[in-house]
Amino acid sequence: MSKLWSDYQCKDLTLKNRIVMAPMCMFCAKDGTAQDWHLIHYASRAVGGVGLILVEATGVESRGRITDQDLGIWRDDHIDMLKKIVSACKQNGAKIGIQLAHAGRKSDVLSEDSIAPSQIAFSDAYRTPKKMTIQDIKTVVKAFRDAAKRADMAGFDVIELHAAHGYLISEYLSPLTNHRTDEYGGTIENRVRFLKEILQEISSVWPQNKPIIVRVSAEDYAEDGNHAQDLATMLSLIKADGIDLVNVSSGGVVNVNPKAYPGYQVKFAEIIRETTSLPVITGGLISSPQLAEEILHNDRADLVFIGRELLRDPYWPLHAAKELKDDIVWPKQYERSKN
């Protein structure tokens, strides 16, 4: 049996393989509510053999969406459709989590103000955000806590905090976007405080037997920005506040396009794993089962996230198992096509 198709345990969560579907926005929600497309989209990947599905960035506030067609979880009436998605995925053999998110200065919901730690626009194509007051910070922290309660009510197995890609939490972490001089800016200890407070509030309502993932951008691709060791230091300071897994990505903080190639983010994950002793999820243009297996077999990461390849091929895990010569159980309805 390959390492890719070995099971994985984290708290009470048991995954049947090490394949994680990365959260990817579908841009078809209506007022934050999931549609039939979402149900079919996620359930298809469960049928296709994904071990853990992470539902796309889901706004904890209306103004926290990237676009006005993003999913939301700021109201109780968002729960019902999310519950249907959770049920469909679990019935088809996958575990499922949700990425709780706030877009911060990168929100394109033009009917509402965008907010950020500092009054700095992402680029000329974006609005200049409002600098958050201490009360604004408290409001958003509470929104994350309330969203976690709703996620539990919907039946999700895990939550992921979106602290990557230059969205709100990530904006606090990076010195490129956080120019504050109060207790939320300046030093590493201060820049990680916002994430720490969110973790503490979420941990007060999220079941202790269910894991919490934090997704980070481990490289800002700018000289004065964060690098993998900086993120590792921050995570080490707050890991006792409820972090069970780290999903390691990169970029998005400033308007720079990194040189991307299959596995280009793996080294960042290795640094964070070694420094923090936390298990990590890695990925980045991974489409080859052999590459995924190499990463896991050589203990460079604990899980591998697959993104665009799962958009192209919902059944990538089944095909990967065949390439790696793993004799896995296929959906009964599809058994006739296994060999």
Tens of pLDDT along 162-216? 999 999 999 999 999 999 999 999 999 999 999 999 999 999 999 999 999 999 9
Question: What's the pLDDT at 312?
Answer: 97
Mean pLDDT of 227-253: 98
Question: What's the pLDDT at 151?
Answer: 98
Band (339; pLDDT cuts 50, 70, 90) = confident
Most distant CA pair in the chain, distance: 64
- Is the pLDDT at 328 greater than 90? The verdict is yes
Percent of the chain past pLDDT 90, that is, above it, reads 99
CA distances from 37 to 25, 28, 33, 57, 99 (A): 12, 8, 11, 16, 18
The span from the CA of 15 to the CA of 2, in Å, is 14
CA distances from 211 to 9, 20, 310 (A): 10, 14, 24
Question: What's the pLDDT at 251?
Answer: 97
Name the pairing type of β-strands 8-10 and 13-15: antiparallel
* Structure confidence by residue, pLDDT tens digits, 5-14: 999 999 999 9
Per-residue tokens: 192: 């990680």
Question: What's the pLDDT at 198?
Answer: 98
Report which secondary-structure segment, H or E, holds 97.
Answer: strand 95-101
CB 162 within 8 A of CB 103: no
Which value, to the nearest 10 degrees, does the dihedral of the CA atoms of residues 157, 67, 163, 303 take?
50
* Average pLDDT taken over every residue of the chain: 97
Mean pLDDT of 223-247: 98
Question: What's the pLDDT at 10?
Answer: 98
- Is the pLDDT at 69 greater than 90? The verdict is yes
Q: Could you say which DSSP state residue 78 is in?
A: G
User: Which domains are present in the chain?
Assistant: 8-337 (3.20.20.70)
- Burial class of residue 186, CB neighbours in 10 A (0-12, 13-18, 19+): middle
**Verdict on whether the full-model pTM lies above 0.95:** yes
* Structure confidence by residue, pLDDT tens digits, 16-40: 999 999 999 999 999 999 999 999 9
- Is the pLDDT at 102 greater than 90? The verdict is yes
Alpha helices in the chain (DSSP H): 36-47, 79-91, 134-154, 168-173, 188-191, 193-203, 228-238, 266-276, 289-297, 308-312, 316-323
Question: What's the pLDDT at 267?
Answer: 98
- Is the pLDDT at 136 greater than 90? The verdict is yes
Query: Within 13 Å of residue 305, how many CA atoms lie on the same side as its CB?
Result: 25
